[in-house]
A and B are shown apart, each in its own frame.
Chain A
């Protein structure tokens, strides 16, 4: 178990630029989640994959955000035309196959995005 890996750890970009983050989940985990966390807040749900299928996307997520999980392995989260309000820690988590929703989430260390 090598854990959930996220790259890059930090990203500084100028407003209007596009950014892409990568998440490598634990290898046997079929569920993958993206969350966003800002200072003083808990993780806010963005989207969820089961294998390669994106099953849920937060209504809070604008069309500038897109996520993929080709072949059900690693995932990417892209933000187009970044805005200063996008500055946050972006967290990826994965969980093992389990009947129902009781399988705990395993989080990566996150990618901190700063939009200047």
Chain B
């Protein structure tokens, strides 16, 4: 069985400061990893994903995440946050060998302070 741990339930950060949202996963098999974002009063949407290839993946709005197999981590980073990044971020994992359910973490609320 797979699981996802997001240790930080809330992360306050000042505007234009860097941020890292931590995600660790547990799985005995090869995985795909995702970050989803939920802006206030909106549905969940995909931010970025790691399927294979380069371990560093980027989103169109400046976020990046690095797949670290040895540390079973997929931390999300942004060098300079904006007010508009205020949202809840969910890390998710699924087995890469065929269908299996997507398992989500408990989420991290990013609060950007002006």
Contacts and interface: CB of A to CB of B under 8 A. Distances in A.
Asked if chains A and B come from one complex, the reply is yes
B83 to A, nearest CB: 23
Contacts, number: 68
Interface of A: 4, 31, 33, 35, 40-45, 48, 50, 55-56, 58, 91, 93, 100-102, 104-110
Nearest to A44: B104
Contacts of A104: 34, 46, 49
Contacts of B6: 42
A91 B44 contact: yes
A102 B96 contact: yes
Majority SS at the chain B contact face = loop
B46 A101 contact: no
18 contacts: A33-B102, A42-B4, A42-B105, A45-B101, A56-B101, A91-B43, A100-B32, A100-B96, A100-B98, A101-B96, A101-B99, A101-B100, A101-B102, A102-B49, A105-B36, A105-B44, A107-B45, A110-B43
Nearest to B52: A102
Interface of B: 4, 6, 9, 32, 34, 36, 42-46, 49, 51, 90, 92, 94-107
Given A42-B4, A107-B36, 20 more contacts: A41-B107, A42-B90, A42-B92, A43-B44, A44-B104, A48-B99, A48-B101, A58-B101, A91-B43, A100-B97, A100-B98, A101-B94, A101-B96, A101-B98, A101-B100, A102-B49, A102-B96, A104-B34, A107-B43, A107-B45
A50 B104 CA distance: 20
B99 A109 contact: no
B50 to A, nearest CB: 9
Contact of A102 (B32, B90, B107): B32
B43 A108 contact: yes
A60 B40 CA distance: 28
Contacts of A35: 104
B53 to A, nearest CB: 12
